[in-house]
Amino acid sequence: MEKEALLIEIRKKAGTWLESNIDEETREQIQYLLSYDENELVESFYRSLEFGTGGLRGIMGVGTNRMNIYTVGMATQGLCNYLLACFKDLPQIKVAIAYDCRNNSPLFAETTARIFAANGIKAYLFDELKPTPELSFAIRHFGCQSGVVITASHNPKEYNGYKVYWDAGGQIIAPHDKNIISEVNKISSINEIKFDGDPALIETIGASFDDLYIDKLATLSLSPEAIRQQHDLKIVYTPIHGTGVKLVPMALEKFGFTQVINVPEQDEVNGDFPTVHSPNPEETAALAMALQRAEESGAKLVMATDPDADRVGIAVRDDQGKLILLNGNQTGSLLYYYMIRKWSENGKLTGKQYVAKTIVTTELLADIARKYGVEIFDVLTGFKFIADIMQRQEGKKEFIIGSEESYGYLAGDFVRDKDAVMSCALIAETAAWARGQGKTLYELLLDIYLEFGLYLEELTYIVKKGKSGAELIAEMMQNYRETPPAELAGSRVVLIHDYQSSKTQDIRTGETSPIELPKSNVLQFITEDNTRVSIRPSGTEPKIKFYFSVKGALENRQEYPAQKAKLEQKINTLNKELGISDK
């Protein structure tokens, strides 16, 4: 009976679309689903896309649960209505719009610009694909009240997305996210979308803006002399068919690097990502061609950015000369160590500086910050919360660097989102600085472990697609809350952080204390030996994620493989105990 009621509601939604001013191709696709593909009809219309940690994101196609010009249009019209209410006293509301390499990205961006213009809002539209962080920079540069970037980040080729930014240059957070969704939900018909705007209200941002952005990035360099001495460091870089193709080489050249080696097949801008299964720099396969190029050229450093160039994955040579991939926590640790230490050596630390990380990112970053007396802020998962801290601290304290485990980093305050263009330049600078001291990045990382302890982290996830998958993930979270583990990998659970109830429970005393962060569907279990397990549903993908963090001692570099193997076995045990895998 429940299924029949759902189907009636879904058919009604589809019928409403058919009665609207939609194009003929969309009309034919909906009629086909109504007649021949009930399952796809349900998936396309059973809900409306919602803003998660990354905004609007979904598979491209027809329907309320798909990315198309009408769901993009509804989101934009709702955003327009909200902007017109929030900034009604401004003589001219302004927004900036960027897009990545994905199929339909230019169409969605141009549609968005026309809708803004139709609502009397001035739109700055990039004339070609650009990295997401450059959109954040543009919002601040032009004094915009909002911004939109069309991207699905590292998702498979079937996806696209729509990320909304606010006036300080960071992604939207509460209350704006919920308020915008509320405005979108008030739109009962596609016919309410104003599609045809005054072209005079759309201004194109050209190539000269890239120079402004790159010049600003260059001000972050802390060791120009080290780069001059090590300018010939061989670096392989791939944009994996995405937006970093122009800007990352520009940034590396501006910093002073002269041996940047490309991967020609992956310099092709292509939303089908023909050379990879997934354009995700977290996955080894995505870097395969770059690694091969590095073997051929003898490069010491490999860097790969995702399609919208806000995240970067790297590979370095170990003590045997073998190329190995670092995870996001390891790269973040190298950047934190280098940036904070150089700020100290350059006499820039005055006691008013701070760094930030997300709650699922390695605690090694906090150890490094504490050594140098730098305050560290822990925020919820999502770089938008680091941007929020930056806005709150503006004019009070100076931001050095922020990091999240999912390969996102940011330095300076002129961009308010993770920035892989900037990160590539600073990672290369860190490598040049280490090389000047006779060390590789691998050896520098081991030195950090020798000083602060050997940390090892791993992210595991379970994919559950569609409506039934979302219900299963919700059930899993409920079960972990109702029956939390008493022990993990042989160590007693002593603390449970429940960010949804905003409470920490101390199992040893039975006492609870408040968590001073916004509510979020995240659980953390911490054991007596400082093992950490964090569990959260993804806000942008049909996944439930498990973040593991374990720590051990390291007495010398030679011990590293054996000690790392012990920690890996411990993580395997955690996977097994939580029923995630049987490895």
Give me the active site residues, please: 153
* Nearest partner of 286 among 418, 419, 153, judged by Cα: 153
E strands, 193-311, are: 202-205, 235-238, 260-262, 301-305
543 in Cβ contact with 461 (< 8 Å): yes
CB burial readout 345-358, b (16+ within 10 A) else e: eeeebeeebbbbbb
Alpha-carbon distance of 85 to 61, in angstroms, equals 31
Identity of residue 207 = A
For residue 52, give the DSSP letter.
Answer: B
Alpha-carbon distance of 229 to 369, in angstroms, equals 28
Q: Which burial class, exposed, middle or buried, applies to 511 when counting CB atoms under 10 A from its CB (0-12, 13-18, 19+)?
A: exposed
Q: Which long-range contacts (CB under 8 A, 24 or more apart) does 248-252 make?
A: 248/303, 248/305, 248/309, 248/420, 248/421, 248/424, 248/425, 250/210, 250/214, 251/214, 251/217, 251/218, 251/421, 251/422, 251/424, 251/425, 252/424, 252/425, 252/428
What does the block give as tokens for 491?
């160590």
Query: What is the three-class DSSP state of 153?
Result: coil
Identity of residue 159 = Y
CB burial readout 70-81, b (16+ within 10 A) else e: bbbbbbbbbbbb
546 in Cβ contact with 533 (< 8 Å): yes
Alpha-carbon distance of 563 to 569, in angstroms, equals 10
Query: What is the three-class DSSP state of 134?
Result: helix
Alpha-carbon distance of 2 to 208, in angstroms, equals 57
Residue that the structure tokens 């006293």 belong to: 89
Q: Which helix (H) or strand (E) holds 176?
A: helix 176-185
E strands, 112-176, are: 122-126, 146-150, 159-166
